[in-house]
A = this chain, B = another copy of it.
């Protein structure tokens, strides 16, 4: 049994990283770029002009497509593909966070391949390539700037689905921590939770783990918890923002599953996808709202794993009882989530699914009977419904 890592993204980290945009595009021979982004804050802040000035200098053409929303929509992806075809786009630059990047990746798949791009998200087809994507990151959270992942929401049916292929790994990622100074507290907390969870999901599985990967994962999560708090206290703390920004990339580029026998649990992520598909909640908040319930539902299968994590991240003392230590670790994580004002129940998340909606969430999570969730503990449809219910 082997595991693999492929992280070809050229990463630049530090003040002014975005000034390398022109160089990076020239290296890759870009001719005409679709610049994809969310709100007009990118324009108002002057960032867009600093980007397009570089393209002008390099003689590289471009068109803009804004309007990406959190939980990026398939409809805008389709619009981007149409625009890209019309404009003979050969490169896509996302300026923003995970939503802009994921949407850019989806457009890149759509422009490279024939047929309906949604097929790659339902798993009905596998893409044969993608246009190159580059990133100027303005939000430390999803790690999409180095990951193979793209998650898109289809308004038709409220489905949120991911497409993971190495074609989706960005060519370059420009990480300037100062661009995240203006991220509001709630989004800072959601991002902190998201990168913690990317590492935690990979930490839990039922195979053997590589000690080195455990050690690096624990160091990463501990660092995220410390700097998440610092960034909330002082949004303009360059060091805290810089740690978070690089942590977001490392948390989801595959490093933290290297050498492990399994690629991680991911049940919480899948369950959250259904929540935000149905209720349009923030991904990071959706994750913390169910993680504790999930953890208490599964931890007795192998409490030592939770105890190790809590000891490493929060210094939970080992008492000789892995069960007690595991319970204390789960509590420590929930306490941390509360401290950064993240919800630890669906009620705190602001939603209250009806019994009928619990059924719908559980059915969607198992793809209507086509799969189970989880690797640490395999969850059937009824387990999933029960976790949703207990998390209310």
Contact = CB atoms under 8 A, between A and B. Distances in A.
Nearest to A176: B2
Scoring A4, A5, A239 by chain B CB atoms within 10 A of each residue's CB, the highest score goes to A5
Given A212-B243, A242-B210, A246-B210, A14 B3 contact: yes
A143 B370 CA distance: 43
Nearest to A254: B11
Interface stretch (A216-224, A271-279, A381-389): A216-224
A259 B4 contact: no
A113 B219 CA distance: 43
What interface size band does chain A fall in? Answer: 35 or more
Contact of A13 (B4, B226, B227, B246): B4
Interface stretch (A15-23, A32-40, A100-108): A15-23
A215 B211 contact: no
Scoring A4, A16, A250 by chain B CB atoms within 10 A of each residue's CB, the highest score goes to A4
A54 interface: no
A79 to B, nearest CB: 33
A222 B227 contact: no
B239 A258 contact: no
B1 A6 contact: no
A4 B12 contact: yes
A4 B24 CA distance: 12
Contacts of A211: 223, 226-227, 239, 243
A344 interface: no
A215 B220 CA distance: 8
Given A13-B2, A211-B243, A246-B210, A216 B220 contact: yes
Given A212-B223, A216-B216, A247-B212, A7 B4 contact: no
Contacts of A5: 10-11, 13
